[in-house]
Structure 1
Amino acid sequence: MRSNIKDVAKLADVSISTVSRVLNSPNLVAEETRDKVFKAIAELNYTPNALARGLIHKRTQTLGVLIPDISNLFYAEILRGMEDTAHRLDYNLILCNTDNNKPRLLASLKVLKEKQIDGLIFTSEPIYPDYNELFQQLQIPVVLAATHSLEFEIPSVKVNDEQAGFEATEYLIRNGHRRIGMIAGSMMDPVTAVPRLQGFMRALRTYNIEADYETCVQNGNYRFEDGYEAMGRLLQKSPDLTAVFASSDERALGAISYCHEHGIKVPDDLSVIGFDNTRLAVMCFPKLTTIAQPLYQIGQLAVEKLDNLVQGKQVGELRTYIAHELVERQSVAKI
C-alpha cells in the first residue's frame, strides 16, 4: 500500500504541516527535525503528490501543450526544445494531440484544466475568437508557438513566414528560374499558408515575373501525399515549370517522389525548395534545399515566456519573430 504524508508524519513524530514545510521550505525547519522527516520518507519510500504540493504553492509545475498532429516531424524538434527547457525550469509537460479537431481540442482542454496545469502552450493553429474565450476561461497563462494572433494579446514565438516565403522564391529566381510554381497550404490557414504564399507572390512581383495564380499555385495539406498529388496537378497545368517552392519539407518530398516516378530529374529538369528543415530534408535524394525554421528555439522560447508569465514576470516583446535561414543542398540547380 502506498504511503502518504500522514504516515510520514506519524513515523517521524511530527505534524503533517511540518512534513509539508520540510518538503517545500526545508530551510525553515530545524536540522534535527528535517533529518527525522527525511529518514521517515526514505523508510516509507514516500513520493510527494504533485497536486497536493500544488495546493500549498498554487502551482503543480506542469505545463500543457496542444499539438495539432504529433505524428508530423515538424513538431519533434519543437517538443525537444520545450522538454529540455521545461526540465531545466523544473516543469513537466502534458502533451495533447488535437488532430486539428475542435471537439478533441475541447476535450484536451478539459483534461488539462482538471490536471491544474500552471500554463498552456498552443501550437500552429490559428486563434479563433472562441479559442481565445476558452483560454480566458482557463484563467492561466497561454503562449503560442509556431503561430500567433494579431487580434488577441497573447505572447507568441514564430518566424516571419511572409519574408521566408519571399526569400525561398527569390533564391530560385537568382538561380535563373522564371517559370516557378508553388505547392501552398490551405487558404483557410492564415498563420503559415497565406503569409508564405504572399511572400511567393511578392518575390515574383519584385522581379517583374508574371504569374497566373490558377496555373502556378496548388493548395493542400502538409502531408507527403498532398505534395505528391499537388505536384501532378501543377505540372498538368504548367508543364514548362523549371522550379517549385513547396511550403513544407513533407510536401517537397512528395513533389520529388512524383517527379522521380514520372521520369523528371530533380534538380536537372525541375528544382525544388522546401520549408522547415526537418530531419526529412537530409533523408531524401537529392538532399533538400530548404528554409530552416529554428524549431528547437521556438520550443525553448515558448516555455521561457510561459515560465515568466507563471511567475508573474513580464515577457518582454509580445510577438517574438526569430530568424530563419536558407540551407542550400542539392535540390536546386542554376539555369
Structure 2
Amino acid sequence: MAATIKDIARVAGVSIATVSRVINNLGGYNEETEKKVLAVAKALEYRKNENARSLVQKSTKTIGVIMPEVTTAFYGDIIKGIEDVSYEHGYSVILTHAGMSGARIHESMNLMGERRVDGLIIVSVELHEAEIESLSSLGILFILLSTKTNREDTPYIKVDDFSAAYTAVNYLIENNHRIIGMAGANPDDSIAGSPRINGYIQALQDHSIKVDLNLIKAGDFSFESGKKAMQEFIEHHAEVTAVFCASDEAALGIISTCFENDLQVPKDISVVGYDNSKVSHMSIPPLTTVAQPLYEMGREGCLSLIASIQNKIKIESKVIPHELVIRKSVKKLS
C-alpha cells in the first residue's frame, strides 16, 4: 500500500499540515524539519498524487505545444528548450500538430482545452481572429514562438525575418554576387515566408540590383523544395552565382542537386541557409546560415509562460536578435 502524507507525519512526529507544506515546497518550516520530512518521505517511498493535487489546485502542471505538420528539423531545438524548462519546473508537455498551414488548429486547441493544460505554446502557426477568440474563451494562457499576430495582446517571441533575410543577402552582395536566387519560402506564409522574400528583395534594391522574380523559387522550407528550385535554375540556364534559402533544409536541397549535376559549392555557386539548425554544420561544405537561437527561444518562451501561470504576470513580447554564422558555403567573387 502506498505511503500517505498521514504516514509521513506519524513517523516524522510532525503535523499533516507541515508535511504538506514541505512536500509542496510552500515554506513556513525550518531546515531541520524539512530534512526530517524529506528523509521519511524517501524512506517510505512516498509519491505525490499529481492527479488528485491538480483537482484541488485546478492545475494539471501541463504545458501544451501546438506546431504545424513537421516537414523540417527546425522544431527540434525549440521543443527541447520547452521540454527542459518544463521539467525543471515540474511540468509535463503535451505536443500536437496543427497540420499544414495550421489546418487543424481548432482541433488542436480543443484538445488542449480538454486536457486542461495550464498554458499553451504555439510554434510557427499563423493565428487569425477566430483562433485568438477561441483561446480567450478557453481561458488558457498562451505565447507564440516564431510567429505573431497584428494584435498587441497576443505575446510572442521571434526574430525579425525581414531583417535576417536582408542580412543574409547583403552578405552575398558584399562578396560581389549580383545574380542571386532565392529558394524555399512560401509567399503565402505571412509569418516566415513573405518577410524573408521581402528582405531578399529590399537588399537587392538597396544595392541597385534588378529584381528578377523568375529567380524566386517558392517552396515549403523543405529539402525537396530546395532540390526542385536548383533543378529549375539549371533547366532554365539561370546564371545565378548564389542562392539564399529560406531554411537550412532547403539549402541542403540546393547542395544535393548541385552534387547530382557536377556543380561544386561554393566554387560554382554559393549558398546561404536560414535557422542554423543542426544540419547546417553537418553539410558538405558546412553551411553559412542565419542563426535563430531556437533552443533559447523555446526556453525563454516556456519560462515566460510558467512565470505568468504561477505569478499572474503579463507575458511581454520580444524580438530576439539573429546572427549570420559564416562557414564554408560562400565564395567571394573577384
Cross-structure match for 1:274:
273
Structure 1 residues 190, 324: CA separation in 2 closer, same or farther (over 3 Å shift)?
same
CA distance in 2, matches of 1:255, 1:112: 38
Q: Whole-Å Cα distance in 2 between the matches of residues 305 and 258 of structure 1?
A: 42
Which of 318, 323, 326 pairs up with 1:325?
Answer: 323
Which ranges in structure 2 are unaligned for 5 or more consecutive residues? none
How many Å apart are 1:103 and its aligned residue? 6.2
| Number of the residue aligned with 2:296 | 297
Q: Could you tell me how far apart the structure 1 residues matched to 2:285 and 2:134 are? A: 45
From the superposition, tell whether residues 269 and 34 of structure 1 become closer, same or farther in structure 2 (CA, over 3 Å). Answer: closer
CA-CA distance at 1:235 after TM superposition: 3.5
Query: In structure 2, what is the Cα distance between the partners aligned to 1:332 and 1:36?
Result: 62
Q: Letter of the 2:217 partner, please give it.
A: Q
Which stretch shows the higher mean deviation, 290-299 or 90-99?
90-99
Relative to structure 1, is the Cα distance of residues 180 and 101 closer, same or farther in structure 2, using a 3 angstrom cutoff? closer
The Cα offsets for residues 260-316 of structure 1, whole Å up to 9 and x where unpaired, read as 11122211111111000111111111111111111111111101221222121233x
Distance 2:295 2:254 in 1: 26
The code of the aligned residue for 1:254 comes to G
CA distance in 1, matches of 2:41, 2:271: 65
Q: 2:332 aligns with which of 327, 331, 334?
A: 334
Contact 1:26 1:34 in 2 (8 A): no
The residue type equivalent to 1:243 in the other structure is A
One-letter identity of the residue aligned with 1:229: K
d(CA) in 2 for partners of 1:116 and 1:174? 52
- Which secondary structure does the structure 2 equivalent of 1:117 belong to? coil
User: Counterparts of 2:48 and 2:193 in 1: how far apart (Å)?
Assistant: 46
1:27 to partner: Cα distance: 4.8
Contact persistence 2:165–2:197 (CA under 8 A): yes
Distance 1:126 1:170 in 2: 28
In 2, Cα distance between equivalents of 1:126 and 1:251: 21
Q: Which residue of 2 aligns with 1:230?
A: 229
Q: What is residue 154 of structure 1 aligned with on the other side?
A: 154
Per the TM alignment, residue 230 of structure 1 is displaced from its structure 2 partner at its CA by 1.6
Aligned partner letter, 1:63: I
Between the aligned partners of 1:83 and 1:10, the Cα distance in structure 2 is 33
Alpha-carbon distance change, 208 to 312 in structure 1, aligned in 2, over 3 angstroms: same
RMSD: 2.9
- C-alpha contact 1:216 1:238 (8 A) present in aligned 2: no
Question: Which residue of structure 1 lines up, in the alignment, with residue 199 of structure 2?
Answer: 199
- Look up the SS of the partner of 2:100 in the other structure: coil
| Structure 1: gaps of 5 or more residues | none
Deviation at 1:160, TM superposition (A): 0.6
State how 1:1-335 maps to structure 2 within 5 Å: 3=2, 9=6, 23-24=23-24, 27=27, 39=40, 43=44, 45-70=45-70, 72-100=72-100, 102=102, 104-151=104-151, 153-213=153-213, 215-237=214-236, 239-310=238-309, 311-315=311-315, 318-335=316-333
Q: Is this contact kept in 2: 1:182–1:244, CA < 8 A? A: yes
Change in Cα spacing, 1:152 to 1:206, as seen in structure 2 (3 Å) is same
Task: State the secondary structure of the residue aligned to 1:96.
Answer: strand
Q: TM-score, normalised by structure 2?
A: 0.87
Contact kept in structure 2, 1:22 and 1:34, CA below 8 Å: no
Contact kept in structure 1, 2:156 and 2:317, CA below 8 Å: yes
Once the 2 structures are TM-superposed, how far is the Cα of residue 3 of structure 1 from its aligned partner?
4.0
Percent identity reads 36
Residues 12 and 40, structure 1, Cα contact 8 Å, conserved in 2: no
Cα deviation, 1:67-119, whole Å, max 9, x if unaligned, reads: 22456321111122222222333322222233337564434333322332111
**Per-residue Cα deviation, 1:127-175 (whole angstroms, up to 9, x for no partner):** 1222212211220211011111123521111111000110111111110
Displacement, 1:38?
7.7
